[in-house]
Amino acid sequence: MIYVDHAATTKLSDTALKAMMPFFTEHYGNPSSLYTMGQQAAEALEGARRTVAECLHCRRDEIYFTSGGSEADNQAILSAARWGKMRGKTHIISTTFEHHAVLHTLQKLEKEGFTVTLLDVHENGVVSPQQVADAITDETCLVTVMYANNEIGTIQPIAQIGEICRAHKVTFHTDAVQAVGHLAIDVVAENIDMLSLSGHKFQGPKGVGALYVRKGVTLYPLIEGGAQERRKRAGTENVAGIVGLAAALKEACEHLEENAANISALRDKLIAGLETIPHGALNGDLTHRLPGNVSFCFEGIEGESLLLLLDDKGICASSGSACTSGSLDPSHVLLAIGRPHEVAHGSLRLSLGEENTPEEIDVLIREIPQVVEYLRNMSPVWRDLQKGERSYVIQ
Ligand SMILES: *Cc1c(COP(=O)(O)O)cnc(C)c1O
């Protein structure tokens, strides 16, 4: 099997699993309990908080653990919106290609009377800091721009956007779920006020994430019912999950440069191999790109069929994001970078991880063009394109 869907989720690292095990077995205490076993769990929790803080270059008491990236995004946005509303600021700026955890939360706020400006991300999938500066008004209470896109892998100019937001005294949140553990992040140097991350995107466990909130920025709880996480997130902590997240993040941060160098070399080789397929195009900027992301559109095929045939060959890939599969709508990200509907349907995302090998890349470069050709030979759309009865969108 060749697993190239690391943007959807990753395999738990051995280090993370080992760190978690004792908290399922002998150290099962509740961190809120006063006896020794409870306090050992509380210490493990604080140790994990310190590790996450070190990786992001912030203070330990600026980290709040959540049930994942989606919850962190919801809490950050709803919290900033509530703070803004109390001050008559009901304008929010974001982009057209955010994760649905952000977009759907913003839609909910629009129904409650907020005004949302979604910035265009251009053909290369990168928003410019100037667009953010131009969109800010006296009513703006929040700018939320993702660090790196989960479908096309493009990295946004976060430090420049952070600088603009700080100068205008506007809260800046970034969904960094695809970036944390893969790119070097310094929340202080980049003027980030709030940042979301998720364990299972960097070889930690699923169902656990964290929200960084800069000291001085108000955070409201989404879930009420207890004093956990300094009263900002009620519920008995997922101790094993949090310990696993921290262990995975520490390992990822310690090997960041080495992993990025190895993975991006594989990525570049794969991109070069797939670029030989006619009437196909890479999605997103070639340079401002996550080390592991390869995303293509191929004209005249359906991404879903491509995935099924690749699955038969033991290749686990994705057509866009895991969240849009099962629906017939083309990816909002591919539409955002200007791909027409019929082309957006023919998308393929291969997201690489440190366990992928050069041999696997060779297999992908051999198999994928064959599968694309096989599907095109059966496609009426492709026949029309070849006969000249329809014109190619991708030359
Ligand atoms: C995966 C992902 C999320 C959601 O994280 P979960 O932990 O699965 O809830 C949010 N944003 C981005 C960019 C993601 O890739």
pTM of this structure: 0.97
Q: Ligand 1 pocket test: which of 5, 99, 318 has the largest number of ligand atoms within 8 Å of its C-beta? A: 99
> For residue 135, how far is its CA from the centre of ligand 1 (angstroms)?
26
Active site residues: 323
Dihedral sign, CA of 119, 121, 127, 128? negative
- Among candidate residues 345, 318, 317, the one with its CA nearest the CA of residue 331: 345
Atom 10 of ligand 1, nearest CA residue:
69
> For residue 351, how far is its CA from the centre of ligand 1 (angstroms)?
15
* β-bridge partners, 349: 295, 318
For residues 95 and 121, is the Cβ–Cβ distance under 8 A? yes
Report which of residues 312 and 321 the model is more confident about: 312
For residues 64 and 213, is the Cβ–Cβ distance under 8 A? yes
Find the helix or strand (DSSP H, E) in which 280 lies.
Answer: strand 280-282
Query: Alpha-carbon distance 201 to 180, whole Å?
Result: 8
End-to-end CA distance of the chain, in Å? 33
Atom 6 of ligand 1, nearest CA residue:
69
Per-residue pLDDT, averaged over 199-205, amounts to 98
| pLDDT band (50, 70, 90) for residue 31 | very high
Atom 3 of ligand 1, nearest CA residue:
69
* Nearest-atom index, ligand 1, CA of 101: 10
DSSP code string of 125-177: T---HHHHHHH--TTEEEEE--SB-TTT-BBP-HHHHHHHHHHTT-EEEEE-T
> For residue 205, how far is its CA from the centre of ligand 1 (angstroms)?
13
Q: Please give the mean pLDDT across all residues of the chain.
A: 96
Residues with beta carbon inside 6 Å of ligand 1? 68-70, 73, 99, 101, 146, 150, 175, 177-178, 198, 201, 209
Residue matched to tokens 């009513």? 139
> For residue 238, how far is its CA from the centre of ligand 1 (angstroms)?
18
What would the pLDDT profile of 152-172 be if each residue is shown by its tens digit? 999 999 999 999 999 999 999
Per-residue pLDDT, averaged over 32-38, amounts to 95
The predicted pLDDT at position 321 comes to: 54
Find the helix or strand (DSSP H, E) in which 270 lies.
Answer: helix 256-274
The predicted pLDDT at position 329 comes to: 80
Task: Determine the angle formed by the axes of helices 14-24 and 239-254, rounding to 10 degrees.
Answer: 160
Q: Ligand 1 pocket test: which of 177, 197, 295, 321 has the largest number of ligand atoms within 8 Å of its C-beta? A: 177
For residues 92 and 107, is the Cβ–Cβ distance under 8 A? no
Beta strand 280-282 with 194-198 is unpaired
Whether 289 has a pLDDT exceeding 70, the answer reads yes
Within 10 Å of residue 384's Cβ, how many Cβ atoms? Answer: 13
| pLDDT band (50, 70, 90) for residue 57 | very high
| pLDDT band (50, 70, 90) for residue 150 | very high
Atom 14 of ligand 1, nearest CA residue:
177
> For residue 319, how far is its CA from the centre of ligand 1 (angstroms)?
16
Query: Alpha-carbon distance 264 to 14, whole Å?
Result: 23
* Nearest-atom index, ligand 1, CA of 208: 7
Q: Ligand 1 pocket test: which of 158, 201, 323, 332 has the largest number of ligand atoms within 8 Å of its C-beta? A: 201
Max CA-CA distance within the chain?
A: 78
* β-bridge partners, 351: 5, 293
The predicted pLDDT at position 116 comes to: 98
> For residue 179, how far is its CA from the centre of ligand 1 (angstroms)?
11
Query: Alpha-carbon distance 306 to 54, whole Å?
Result: 42
DSSP code string of 35-61: SHHHHHHHHHHHHHHHHHHHHHTS-GG
Beta strand 194-198 with 209-213 is antiparallel
What would the pLDDT profile of 317-340 be if each residue is shown by its tens digit? 998 755 555 566 889 999 999 999
